[in-house]
Amino acid sequence: MGGLAVEQPQDARGNAIEQTVLSTFRAKLPISDTADVAVSCTITLCEVSGVSAGHDLAATRTALRNDGLLKAVAGLGYSTGPDEESPAPSGGTAFVFYFNRVM
């Protein structure tokens, strides 16, 4: 998925869809201590990455799979894809989550 996020053309909606996905993600994620959240959308997916400062791997994974977040992203036209979590070098949990664009 990471390769597709780099290789595919950017979503024609540009920064507008990335800002919408970012605001939805921040509003619906059930943890508030995320930092460095970045969104990059291509023609078939959006990649969301960041760091959850105060949560372990399992808690971050559970938060990313929160029903409210997944429903909100589905309302934007995306289905859920894979996610990965790992210890962040500066502490906390680094994550990357992919949303597949429903065409």
Average pLDDT, the chain: 90
Question: In Å, how far are 23, 58, 72 from 39, measured between CA atoms?
Answer: 10, 22, 16
Instruction: Give the whole-angstrom CA distance, residue 22 versus residue 66.
Output: 16
DSSP 21-89: HHHHHHHH-S---EEEEEEEEBSSEEEEEEEETT--HHHHHHHHT-HHHHHHHHHTTEEEEEEEEEE-T
Whether the per-residue pLDDT at 16 is higher than 90: the answer is yes
pLDDT bucket at 52, cuts 50 / 70 / 90 = very high
The Cα diameter of the chain in Å comes to 38
Q: Tell me if the pTM is above 0.85.
A: yes
